[in-house]
Structure 1
Amino acid sequence: MAYVTKATTKGGRNGRAMLDDGGLALAMALPKELGGAGDGHNPEQLFALGYSSCFGQALLVLGKKHGIDAQVAKVTCEVTLNTDGGFSLSAELKVSVPGADKAKVQALVEEAHTVCPYSKATKGNMPVKLTVV
């Protein structure tokens, strides 16, 4: 085992979420789009932050192999909470690498999707679209 973290939430989507080590605590709130006040954070936002960061690290690990300076890569993760027929998630990862060949970036993105822990966790569980911009 390399790393373990724990978080605890009280009050669900309208409560408070905190890391057990006290390093981060957030007010949670149902988004306005779902009838809430929207005056806090929600799980989809946190998932988007984590996935974009994790995927960016996968790009950094593989960038040299693909001849790409992944230090300048920008990863945007758009997470959608779908409410049709029950609740489910979908995501789109938008990757840009200024000055890099788009075909090389596409190959890098596809390989990063095979090593990123978030990509592995979502594989077969939710749709994830990869877009090179």
Structure 2
Amino acid sequence: MSIQQSEVLYTAVATAENGRDGRVATNDGQLDVVVNPPKEMGGSGAGTNPEQLFAAGYSACFQGALGVVARNENADISGSTVTAEVGIGKNDDGFGLIVKISASIPNVDVATAKDLIEKAHQVCPYSKATRGNITVELAV
């Protein structure tokens, strides 16, 4: 289900120069980074890359969704962390992504942690945006 333009609460704006081998910056100046392909893809690896930026955004968003779910479930997720691993590789269309989301939730048992991350995966905007498009593995 998509949102209508009138329902948008915030819009992030970023501009890239020279694609994967250049610079990307937000219009508010909060993010301004050099981007370079990783050494594994023939680049210098001197800067960050789009997959790292996507992993950072996805992990933060997923942690936020986990917090929403935990509040609804009265679960203690204090001290929890969420790690996103974003892989890029060749596929039939050129290149594609694969993601692994790992959550460490020390104050709940494994079954509860699995339930919480499954529910977070249903409400996380990044998960919704990627659903059906890329493989996303969940792990605790």
Segments of 5+ residues of structure 2 without an aligned counterpart are 1-7
Q: Which residue of 1 aligns with 2:74?
A: 67
Q: Which residue of 2 aligns with 1:98?
A: 106
Q: TM-score, normalised by structure 2?
A: 0.90
Q: Which residue of 2 aligns with 1:55?
A: 62
What is the aligned-residue identity percentage?
A: 46
C-alpha contact (below 8 Å) 1:66/1:104 kept by paired residues: no
Q: Which 4+ residue blocks in structure 1 deviate beyond 4 angstroms?
A: none
C-alpha contact (below 8 Å) 1:68/1:105 kept by paired residues: no
Kindly indicate which of the two structures has a greater share of residues assigned to helix. 1
Q: Which residue of 1 aligns with 2:13?
A: 6
Measured in 1, the distance between the counterparts of 2:64 and 2:32 equals 24
Q: What amino acid does structure 1 have at the position aligned with 2:127?
A: S
Give 1:62 deviation, angstroms. 1.1
Alpha-carbon RMSD: 1.0
Segments of 5+ residues of structure 1 without an aligned counterpart are none
54, 58, 82: which one pairs with 2:89? 82
**Equivalent residue pairs, number:** 132
